[in-house]
């Protein structure tokens, strides 16, 4: 609904409307990127650089147990995919879709046409995620024969929650087995205010966020349709169990949208019941220094890379030395880019697709099952306890 600030009270009073809030924007997940400018696929050198995939697959031993099949599909809700990438094209099944409307975010992206078939990745994030799941070429993913399908909700800028809901519903209706979401945003259960940036008027929006309610409904819908949702815990180094800390962070994050929160902050979709929430670890199986965390919040951890050396050398003014010595190769993750190449990155975004891939392998091995049963199997069969 497009409406003025004054319409909030009218909207909330309408029959059938349980909650309303201004559209919350989602930023592309923050992650460092380093171009893989020296990789030559002709010499098959990539496997030696994939310490993260080696860690997940026990140096490739898991491939002997199974590499997946096109009978199982992971729906990737992200920035789209490089449909011609030599490492991705083998596993890209038909049906990818674009949910970014004409004009893009708030009409600020004139190159966005709104064409449902325009699922090409113009950022690189979605292709990187796809490579970790089902790369099969110069690089290998965790499940290199598993089907993947792209549901594009980001261009080069922000997204709106409604686009993400639509993509999740479409993926479930398409029958995908796993929905992989390397993205996150914040909601609150408490008192919400909106400060009009033009008039300065402070409007009380009530004690619930429509965004949170909508996410619960969507997750419930896709779960009942048989799709397991796997989502990133986020890269803010915040204890998500400490609701005061989350709310303070949230006010800093969304203050520019005119929203002000009092209450308990949550990250979505990771905080929604039924979602597998993934935090990130580094090369030493220790929580990554950027990863969100918290008891009762994180369900499973996977390798997403670390930034300890990166941050240290940057703080000491020695970033050029960090790059020259290629130190990123020991803590960043290598995967596909949107231009037929590869790049190094870190984040819970890089950990999430690896869990999605393992879930897909479990389905391929044990057969179709309910998301609840798949979650149980994931926690029993697919983890090293800590």
226 lies in some domain: yes
Phi, psi of 302 (to 5 degrees): -145, 165
The per-residue pLDDT for 38 is 45
Four-residue CA torsion sign, 373, 165, 212, 346: positive
The per-residue pLDDT for 35 is 61
Bridging pattern class, strands 178-181 and 73-78 = parallel
The per-residue pLDDT for 189 is 65
In order of 65, 220, 298, 355, the CA distances from 268 in angstroms are 34, 14, 12, 18
195 lies in some domain: no
Bridging pattern class, strands 25-26 and 159-160 = antiparallel
Residues 6+ apart with CB under 8 A from 89: 83
To which residue do tokens 């995939």 refer? 53
CA–CA separation, 141 and 125 (whole Å)? 15
Q: Are 225 and 299 in contact (CB under 8 A)?
A: no
CA–CA separation, 347 and 231 (whole Å)? 12
> Which entry of 52, 87, 123, 125 is annotated as an active-site residue?
125
248 lies in some domain: no
- Clarify whether 125 is annotated catalytic: yes
The per-residue pLDDT for 45 is 65
- Clarify whether 236 is annotated catalytic: no
Q: Are 364 and 356 in contact (CB under 8 A)?
A: no
264 lies in some domain: no
Q: Which residues pair with 342 in a beta bridge?
A: 336
335 lies in some domain: yes
- Clarify whether 78 is annotated catalytic: yes
Residue 170: domain span: 31-185+222-232+275-381
18 lies in some domain: no
The per-residue pLDDT for 25 is 66
The per-residue pLDDT for 196 is 77
The per-residue pLDDT for 256 is 67
To which residue do tokens 């690189």 refer? 124
The per-residue pLDDT for 39 is 39
Give the residue among 264, 334, 263, 348 at the shortest CA–CA distance from 299. 348
CA–CA separation, 128 and 33 (whole Å)? 11
The per-residue pLDDT for 200 is 80
312 lies in some domain: yes
Phi, psi of 249 (to 5 degrees): -65, -40
Residues 40-68 pLDDT 10s: 444 446 899 999 999 999 999 899 899 99
Residues 158-216 pLDDT 10s: 888 899 999 999 999 999 999 999 987 776 666 777 887 778 887 776 655 788 889 99
CATH of the domain at 46: 3.40.50.200
> Which entry of 78, 187, 299, 364 is annotated as an active-site residue?
78
- Average pLDDT of adjacent 10-residue blocks, the chain of 386 residues: 78 84 67 53 69 94 92 97 96 98 91 96 96 95 96 90 95 98 76 77 70 91 98 92 84 73 79 94 95 94 96 96 95 95 95 98 97 95 81
> Which entry of 291, 345, 349, 356 is annotated as an active-site residue?
349
262 lies in some domain: no
Query: Kindly report the CA angle at 234 between 232 and 240, in degrees rounded to 5?
Result: 110
Four-residue CA torsion sign, 213, 216, 219, 222: negative
Report the domain count for the chain: 1
Give the residue among 294, 273, 274 at the shortest CA–CA distance from 348. 294
């Amino acid at each position: 609904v497009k409406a003025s600030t004054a319409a909030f009270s009218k909207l909330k009073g309408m029959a059938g409307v349980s909650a309303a809030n201004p559209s919350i924007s989602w930023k592309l997940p923050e992650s460092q990127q380093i171009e893989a400018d020296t990789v030559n696929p002709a010499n098959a050198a990539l496997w030696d650089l994939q310490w993260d995939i080696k860690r997940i697959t026990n140096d490739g031993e898991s491939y002997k147990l199974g590499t997946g099949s096109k009978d199982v599909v992971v729906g990737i809700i992200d920035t789209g995919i490089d449909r011609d990438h030599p490492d991705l094209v083998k596993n890209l099944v038909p049906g990818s879709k674009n949910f970014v409307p004409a004009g893009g975010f708030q009409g600020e992206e004139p190159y966005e046409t709104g064409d449902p078939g325009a699922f090409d990745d113009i950022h690189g994030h979605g292709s990187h995620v796809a490579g970790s799941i089902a790369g099969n070429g110069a690089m290998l993913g965790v499940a290199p024969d598993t089907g993947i399908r792209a549901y594009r909700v980001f261009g080069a800028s922000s997204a709106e929650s409604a686009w993400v809901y639509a993509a999740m519903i479409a993926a479930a209706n398409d029958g995908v087995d796993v929905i992989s979401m390397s993205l996150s945003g914040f909601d609150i259960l408490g008192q919400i205010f909106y400060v009009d940036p033009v008039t300065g008027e402070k409007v009380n929006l009530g004690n619930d966020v429509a965004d949170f309610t909508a996410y619960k409904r969507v997750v419930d819908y896709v779960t009942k349709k048989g799709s397991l949702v796997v989502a990133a815990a986020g890269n803010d180094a915040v204890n998500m169990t400490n609701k005061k800390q989350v709310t303070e962070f949230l006010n800093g994050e969304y203050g520019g949208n005119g929203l002000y929160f009092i209450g308990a902050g949550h990250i979505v979709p990771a905080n929604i019941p039924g979602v597998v929430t993934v935090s990130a670890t580094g090369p030493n199986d220790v929580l990554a220094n950027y990863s969100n965390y918290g008891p009762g919040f994180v369900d499973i951890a996977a390798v997403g890379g670390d930034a300890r050396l990166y941050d240290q050398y940057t703080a000491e003014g020695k970033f050029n030395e960090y790059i020259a010595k290629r130190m990123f190769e020991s803590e960043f993750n290598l995967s596909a880019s949107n231009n037929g190449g590869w790049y190094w990155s870190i984040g819970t975004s890089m950990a999430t697709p690896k869990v999605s891939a393992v879930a897909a392998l479990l389905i391929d091995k044990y057969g179709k099952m309910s998301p609840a049963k798949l979650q149980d199997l994931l926690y029993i069969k697919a983890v090293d306890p800590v």
